[in-house]
Chains A and B, each alone.
Chain A
Amino acid sequence: MEDYQKYIRNFSIIAHIDHGKSTLADRLIENTGTVAHRDMREQFLDNMDLERERGITIKLQTTRLIYKAKDGNEYIVNLIDTPGHVDFTYEVSRSLAACEGAVLVVDATQGVEAQTLANVYLALDEDLEIVPVLNKMDLPSAHPEEVRAEIEDVIGLDASDAPCISAKEGLNIDQVLEAVVEKVPAPAGDPSAPLKALIFDSYYDNYKGVVIYTRIFDGSVKTGDKILLMNTGKEYEVTEVGVNAPYQTPVAELSAGSVGYICASIKQVRDARVGDTITLAKERTKEPLKGYKKVQSMVYCGIYPAEGEKYENVKDCLEKMQVNDAAFVFEPETSTALGFGFRCGFLGLLHMEIIVERLEREFDLDVITTTPSVIYKVVMTDGTVKMIQNPSNMPNPTEYDHIEEPMVKATIMLPKEYVGPIMELCQDRRGVMEHMEYITPTRVSLHYMLPLNEVIYDFFDALKSKTRGYGSLDYEFDHYEKSQLVKLDYMLNREVVDAFSMIVHESKAYVRARFVCEKLKEVIPMHQFEVPIQAAIGQKVIARETVKAYRKDVLAKCYGGDISRKKKLLEKQKEGKKRMKQFGTVEVPQEAFTAVLKYDEGKK
């Protein structure tokens, strides 16, 4: 009976964005006949439309494949797909912890990238066997020998027998599975020990409640068992266990070495946190698994109902979103400019963009998002410390001693010809270079200490644009550091619009102020009166623009088609003004909020 684990392999695929991870997963599913070819959708595992559109995996997925290997045996190969973005590093680390091995996909035309490295280190931390694979061999620009050498030099992995594949063309996919069976160790749990299982993902299902994706290390679990989640300390009764093949298929029990799902009438994703350990309530395992942490929001912004949208509606949708995303937090707040809304916390900027986009698409919400901010540590004159994540809550300069801002350790990998522009970019963003190394004669790795508030402000876009897409970035929080920060306020027709307020480094204040004023001038429509746009630090105005006046006191032309349209413009709170927000006497289109955040090379 012990023997069954010999025929199980648990592995993840790790890769840089666009190196073909999801496509490879598709081919593996297709090749093992797990999903009939006619049912294949492009990138089967990327379920969300958003994921398919952006070409990135946000939510990880897992699938059980049955593979008949060359040795004549049938293997259960569990593929655990991982999210592909630096915002989700913790989730990646937990899904890696569920495996014994990882297939490292490297684009044979591009070589090793920062995120590849970051993920390899995560995998090595979990003691995984790494199986390198060279992808995109169908492209004429593939240079496998150089990339092989790069993998050996940079990562120190033997890549001499790495399969050369094309996930897109379905070339040599078998070799990947064969390598997995051959190289990745079989799980070696104790089926008779008390249950010890890892939650590596969970999501909310309307019918089943929270569905936990789990890897069983020791023991077994079946329907009716009382389970205990060791870190949250909560107990539940199991209503269903099963495997993804790839659709959810209930099974009698899940035992040591397996990967599958558990349902236990759990109401919220936050109650089944990624990284938590599942055991039986009656017969507990001694120690929970290592590596659990509660994810922390790094980036905050306000989300407000747009004109015509109901507060209750927004709240309702945020709650629904939270049920499914433990990393997303929110609480009510008010803004003088925008009224009642919510302060929302995210893992990073991408996470924020995704949530906002999903709110708009899936829930058809009309919301305004304010300038994103990081959490500042404000040390008051009396020595107490305040954590501020909303710029408008920043105390008066007279009340505090100093402000500290979060710093991140950033690794940027890029072809050497772009080193100059990127060093300039990092310097411009107040980065301090720690070191730089040549990975290969043509590729460089830059290590910087950067303020997070500079990274969340379009750093990624700038990096991509300055390296023609070849630069890659990985970062993690390091420490708080004292910094000369100021609060920039913006005034429209002399009234402060708190939703635009931002905290910036003193040295950047003028440039930012001018940029934002110019952007606002571009998007604010003409009014009956002149609209001054001003940026100020405290009482001191440091930039100013003016939107010209245009009087529309008389409607000169009004015939059949004009009547409804022109009348609506004069009626308050109706369709014609829907995309506008009224600040005092000034109307601001909602696009203004995003316009002030966009990186604009020409203006730099």
Chain B
Amino acid sequence: MIISARETAGRRPLGIYVHIPYCVRKCLYCDFVSYPLKNDGLDKDRMAAYCSDICVEIRGKARSFNNKYYVDSIFFGGGTPSIAPARSVVSILSAIRDCFDVIKDVEISIEANPGTVNSTQLQAYADAGVNRLSLGVQSFNDDILRSLGRIHDSKTALEAFRAVSDIRTGYRKAFSRNIDLMFGVPGQTADIWKETLAQALELRPEHISFYSLQLEEGTPLYDAYRLGSLTLPSWKENRRMYHMAVNMLKSAGYHHYEISNAALPGHECRHNLKYWTMQDYLGFGTSAHSCVNGKRTGDDAPDPKGDFVFTELRLVDGFDPAVYYAMFGKRFEDDFDPAFSTLVNAGLLEKRGGRIRFTAEGLDYTNPVMEKLLNNTL
């Protein structure tokens, strides 16, 4: 059911994540749960069957949540959700609306890859209420796209972005648009990266994610690098690219709000923010995770304090220690000293304006800092 803001009183917001684990093929750096299409003529049936299973899962789970929660964000992630039949996405959304109370201004995002979208399909998304579209562009340079094993080129990316921008619901643009970009990629120079950023900014999407390439064990890129057949930009170069992006985005008026995310003010991703602020969300589909009352699925040794630090510090503005105190009844310093003080003295963390957060330098060492905090070691 769709409800108004007034009807949410006394209830908590809930995010819903739906995992669509299919891809045209797997990118060379990808370690997410995803399966390439088999091209045996049955892919569509398989995906449709998977999606109808998700509807069953949703109906089964909703009952215990509906009284206490209302849904204010829905996110289709993958894999490549845009290769699933559009009507499957639509039917999942109806299942959610059937079983949960969904607030009127709900944020509904879907991830799409250039080369897997067309206007009819996008219009179907829009008609079903999808209002945020995240496009996996990664780069506007064809050599870089090839070295990542992407299925599209820059021309396709631009066409896809235009198609997304042209869709309307009524007179209004249908989608708040995100572009995913990647840096630190083999063969990428600061100049190539700068060009991609400039091209992205020219398009003026509402949201830009800019990720440093991570080499994950078990991926072809990891093995190639390990065995010496692949050269990456040096770590110094990688950081240069990162700060270049932060500066360019800021001067273009974007709000850098998470390590790898920036948005025009008011367009921060509501759903993703839940991950970084310990809010409740339910995951549906293969390998999807849930977090309810600070407890994550499959987490047999819950560590809410550690989770808090690990997620909230990803926000560039950090967190208010008063929130920590309210949640755990203890001062943040009491739980995380001496590691915390040491990190502040080292200039990697700071307490400013009543918030605890990474310094600009600390953003280049988030892992070692987290490691010290989580283990509370010097």
Contact surface of A with B, Cβ cutoff 8 Å: 525-526, 547-548, 550-561, 563-564, 566-567, 570-572
> Of B143-151, B192-200, B361-369, which stretch is located at the interface?
B361-369
Measured between alpha carbons, how far is A563 from B370 in the docked complex, in Å? 12
Known contacts A563-B310, A564-B289; A556 and B259 CB within 8 A of each other: yes
21 contacts between A and B (CB under 8 A): A553-B367, A554-B212, A554-B259, A555-B367, A556-B214, A556-B259, A556-B260, A557-B260, A558-B259, A560-B17, A560-B290, A561-B283, A563-B275, A563-B296, A566-B310, A567-B303, A567-B307, A570-B310, A570-B371, A571-B371, A571-B375
> Which residue in chain B gives the minimum CB-CB distance to A547?
B226
Known contacts A553-B235, A553-B368, A554-B363; A563 and B307 CB within 8 A of each other: yes
Measured between alpha carbons, how far is A555 from B77 in the docked complex, in Å? 19
**What 6 new A-B contacts, CB under 8 Å, besides A550-B226, A556-B259, A563-B311?**
A548-B226, A556-B213, A559-B77, A564-B298, A567-B374, A570-B367
Measured between alpha carbons, how far is A556 from B283 in the docked complex, in Å? 21
Most buried by B among A525, A550, A553, A561: A561
Judging by beta carbons under 8 Å apart, are B212 and A556 in contact? yes
Judging by beta carbons under 8 Å apart, are A554 and B365 in contact? yes
Judging by beta carbons under 8 Å apart, are A567 and B306 in contact? yes
Judging by beta carbons under 8 Å apart, are B215 and A560 in contact? no
B202 within 8 A of A: no
Measured between alpha carbons, how far is A551 from B374 in the docked complex, in Å? 19
| The one of B211, B281, B375 that contacts A572, using a Cβ cutoff of 8 Å | B375
> Which residue in chain B gives the minimum CB-CB distance to A550?
B215
Distance between A522 CB and nearest chain B CB, rounded to angstroms: 9
Judging by beta carbons under 8 Å apart, are A554 and B310 in contact? no
- CB-defined contacts of B66 to chain A, threshold 8 Å: none
B23-54 contacts to A, CB under 8 A, are 33
Distance between B60 CB and nearest chain A CB, rounded to angstroms: 20
- CB-defined contacts of B141 to chain A, threshold 8 Å: none
Judging by beta carbons under 8 Å apart, are A571 and B306 in contact? yes
| The one of B232, B275, B298, B299 that contacts A559, using a Cβ cutoff of 8 Å | B275
B170-227 contacts to A, CB under 8 A, are 211-215, 217, 222, 225-226
Measured between alpha carbons, how far is A250 from B365 in the docked complex, in Å? 73
Judging by beta carbons under 8 Å apart, are B310 and A567 in contact? yes
Judging by beta carbons under 8 Å apart, are B214 and A525 in contact? no
- CB-defined contacts of A557 to chain B, threshold 8 Å: 211, 214, 260
Judging by beta carbons under 8 Å apart, are B299 and A564 in contact? yes
Known contacts A555-B366, A556-B212, A561-B288; A526 and B374 CB within 8 A of each other: no
- CB-defined contacts of B235 to chain A, threshold 8 Å: 551, 553
B132 within 8 A of A: no
Mark each residue of chain B from 276 to 291: 1 if its CB lies under 8 Å from any CB of chain A, else 0.
1000010100011111
> Which residue in chain B gives the minimum CB-CB distance to A557?
B211
Distance between A593 CB and nearest chain B CB, rounded to angstroms: 19
Q: Nearest 4 CB-CB pairs, A to B?
A: A556-B211, A556-B212, A570-B371, A551-B235
> Which residue in chain A gives the minimum CB-CB distance to B369?
A553
Distance between A525 CB and nearest chain B CB, rounded to angstroms: 6
- CB-defined contacts of B329 to chain A, threshold 8 Å: none
| The one of B222, B289, B364 that contacts A561, using a Cβ cutoff of 8 Å | B289
Known contacts A560-B281, A561-B288, A571-B306; A554 and B296 CB within 8 A of each other: no
> Which residue in chain B gives the minimum CB-CB distance to A574?
B301
B314 within 8 A of A: yes
- CB-defined contacts of B213 to chain A, threshold 8 Å: 556
- CB-defined contacts of B298 to chain A, threshold 8 Å: 564
Mark each residue of chain B from 339 to 378: 1 if its CB lies under 8 Å from any CB of chain A, else 0.
0000000000000000000000001111110110011000
Distance between A559 CB and nearest chain B CB, rounded to angstroms: 5
B252-294 contacts to A, CB under 8 A, are 259-260, 272, 275-276, 281, 283, 287-291
> Which residue in chain A gives the minimum CB-CB distance to B300?
A575
Judging by beta carbons under 8 Å apart, are A559 and B226 in contact? no
Measured between alpha carbons, how far is A551 from B289 in the docked complex, in Å? 27
- CB-defined contacts of B10 to chain A, threshold 8 Å: none
- CB-defined contacts of B276 to chain A, threshold 8 Å: 558
Judging by beta carbons under 8 Å apart, are A559 and B272 in contact? yes
- CB-defined contacts of A554 to chain B, threshold 8 Å: 212, 242, 259, 363-367
Judging by beta carbons under 8 Å apart, are A560 and B288 in contact? yes
Measured between alpha carbons, how far is A552 from B260 in the docked complex, in Å? 15
> Which residue in chain B gives the minimum CB-CB distance to A571?
B374
Measured between alpha carbons, how far is A559 from B222 in the docked complex, in Å? 21
Measured between alpha carbons, how far is A571 from B228 in the docked complex, in Å? 29
Measured between alpha carbons, how far is A526 from B217 in the docked complex, in Å? 9
Measured between alpha carbons, how far is A564 from B365 in the docked complex, in Å? 19
> Which residue in chain A gives the minimum CB-CB distance to B213?
A556
| The one of A525, A558, A564 that contacts B314, using a Cβ cutoff of 8 Å | A558
- CB-defined contacts of A559 to chain B, threshold 8 Å: 77, 272, 275
> Which residue in chain A gives the minimum CB-CB distance to B258?
A558
Known contacts A550-B225, A553-B367, A570-B370; A563 and B212 CB within 8 A of each other: no
- CB-defined contacts of A526 to chain B, threshold 8 Å: 215, 222, 225-226
- CB-defined contacts of B242 to chain A, threshold 8 Å: 554
Judging by beta carbons under 8 Å apart, are A525 and B288 in contact? no
| The one of A550, A552, A560 that contacts B283, using a Cβ cutoff of 8 Å | A560
Judging by beta carbons under 8 Å apart, are A558 and B311 in contact? yes
> Which residue in chain B gives the minimum CB-CB distance to A549?
B235
- CB-defined contacts of A570 to chain B, threshold 8 Å: 310, 367, 370-371, 374-375
> Which residue in chain A gives the minimum CB-CB distance to B377?
A572
Measured between alpha carbons, how far is A557 from B216 in the docked complex, in Å? 12
Distance between B81 CB and nearest chain A CB, rounded to angstroms: 14
Measured between alpha carbons, how far is A503 from B203 in the docked complex, in Å? 66
- CB-defined contacts of A572 to chain B, threshold 8 Å: 375
- CB-defined contacts of B365 to chain A, threshold 8 Å: 553-554
Distance between A178 CB and nearest chain B CB, rounded to angstroms: 60
Distance between A218 CB and nearest chain B CB, rounded to angstroms: 63
- CB-defined contacts of B375 to chain A, threshold 8 Å: 570-572
Measured between alpha carbons, how far is A156 from B374 in the docked complex, in Å? 75
Measured between alpha carbons, how far is A567 from B232 in the docked complex, in Å? 25
Distance between B306 CB and nearest chain A CB, rounded to angstroms: 6
Distance between A432 CB and nearest chain B CB, rounded to angstroms: 41
Distance between A526 CB and nearest chain B CB, rounded to angstroms: 6
Measured between alpha carbons, how far is A14 from B377 in the docked complex, in Å? 63
Known contacts A548-B228, A553-B235, A570-B374; A560 and B289 CB within 8 A of each other: yes
Measured between alpha carbons, how far is A556 from B238 in the docked complex, in Å? 12
Distance between B151 CB and nearest chain A CB, rounded to angstroms: 20
Mark each residue of chain B from 54 to 67: 1 if its CB lies under 8 Å from any CB of chain A, else 0.
00000000000000
Measured between alpha carbons, how far is A563 from B283 in the docked complex, in Å? 13
Distance between B39 CB and nearest chain A CB, rounded to angstroms: 27
Measured between alpha carbons, how far is A572 from B217 in the docked complex, in Å? 19
Measured between alpha carbons, how far is A557 from B212 in the docked complex, in Å? 8
- CB-defined contacts of A560 to chain B, threshold 8 Å: 17, 275, 281, 283, 288-291
- CB-defined contacts of B272 to chain A, threshold 8 Å: 559
| The one of A553, A561, A563, A564 that contacts B366, using a Cβ cutoff of 8 Å | A553
- CB-defined contacts of A556 to chain B, threshold 8 Å: 211-214, 259-260
- CB-defined contacts of A563 to chain B, threshold 8 Å: 275, 289, 291, 296, 307, 310-311
- CB-defined contacts of B303 to chain A, threshold 8 Å: 567
> Which residue in chain A gives the minimum CB-CB distance to B222?
A526
Known contacts A561-B288, A563-B311, A571-B306; A552 and B296 CB within 8 A of each other: no
Measured between alpha carbons, how far is A570 from B366 in the docked complex, in Å? 11
- CB-defined contacts of B287 to chain A, threshold 8 Å: 561
- CB-defined contacts of B33 to chain A, threshold 8 Å: 561
Distance between B357 CB and nearest chain A CB, rounded to angstroms: 15
Measured between alpha carbons, how far is A548 from B234 in the docked complex, in Å? 12
Measured between alpha carbons, how far is A365 from B374 in the docked complex, in Å? 29
Measured between alpha carbons, how far is A567 from B228 in the docked complex, in Å? 28
Measured between alpha carbons, how far is A555 from B211 in the docked complex, in Å? 9
Judging by beta carbons under 8 Å apart, are B289 and A525 in contact? no
- CB-defined contacts of B259 to chain A, threshold 8 Å: 554-556, 558
- CB-defined contacts of B311 to chain A, threshold 8 Å: 558, 563
Distance between A196 CB and nearest chain B CB, rounded to angstroms: 60
